[in-house]
Amino acid sequence: MPIPKSLEALLDHGVIDEVVRPLLSGKEAEVYLVISDGDYRVAKVYKEANNRTFKHRAEYTEGRKVRNSRDQRAMARRSSHGRAKDEAAWRSTEVDMIYKLRDAGVRVPIPYHFIDGILIMELVQGADGQPAPRLGELSLPPAQADQVLETLLREVIRMLSAGVVHGDLSEFNVLMGTDGPCIIDFPQAVHAAANASARKLLLRDVGNLVRFLQPASGARRAPVYAEEMWQLYERGELTP
């Protein structure tokens, strides 16, 4: 296949051995199946800001800290330097969150390299050895759907216990791998203690999962699950 220009430098420097094929084009990034270090992996290439469709970005970036005060002021003014720093921070958030959540025991893809704004990470595989399908691409029998929901709610609790809310969690951000559900896509993730929208985003995340996996009762039960999680978190009583 033609080599994407964004991946040429990584090929030249041996970080990637081969670009096999495109996997996914999302609202934030293009994802490619690649060979790196001799294994199948994925390369996530973030789109430029003017080519993305993610809405209300300021809601997600509230509470994120920038160490350099000059950069912080430039980002607030939206100068060209500030926009560049803001863009770099948006991309690096995913890497930071993945490492944080792996340490907390959440099933997320293993990260291998983050170079020039491109993330090389684990290829999550399905039972057939192919790239794992997204949860939203499957139709699960009720008993299995209940098991998947229970697993995902435990993962949401682990994330919140680590101080993180995904912020865009749905059936399209969950890969169904051979070892169970794997949560993906974290550039918009928020710090629960520092973001005023964290509770609202948590309720929406949980609501999306419950309504998809338990459509008959999800609309009624989702707020109960999420509110209980948030109240325990605020009291310091939430445990993974």
Residue 55 lies in a domain: yes
Q: What is the pLDDT of residues 62-107, one digit of tens each?
A: 665 644 455 444 444 545 554 556 576 777 889 999 999 999 999 9
Reported as a pLDDT band with limits 50, 70 and 90, residue 220 is: low
pLDDT surpassing 80 at residue 154: yes
In-domain check, residue 106 = yes
Residue 117 lies in a domain: yes
- Is 123 inside any structural domain? yes
pLDDT, tens digit (0-9, with 9 covering 90-100), for 97-151: 999 999 999 999 999 999 988 999 999 999 899 999 999 999 999 999 999 999 9
Domain assignment present for residue 6? The answer is: no
pLDDT at 48: 74
Q: 175 — alpha (psi -120 to 50), left (phi > 0) or beta?
A: beta
In a domain, 105, yes or no: yes
Number of domains in the chain: 1
How wide is the angle at C-alpha 54 spanned by C-alphas 53 and 57, nearest 5°? 140
| pLDDT of amino acid 75 | 41
Of 33-37, 40-44, 76-80, which range is least confident? 76-80
> Cα separation of 6 and 126, whole Å?
27
Residue holding tokens 């929406």? 204
Q: Please report whether residue 9 resides in a domain.
A: no
Note down the domain range covering 163: 16-234
CATH of the domain at 133: 1.10.510.10
**pTM score of the predicted model:** 0.86
Q: Is residue 11 part of a domain?
A: no
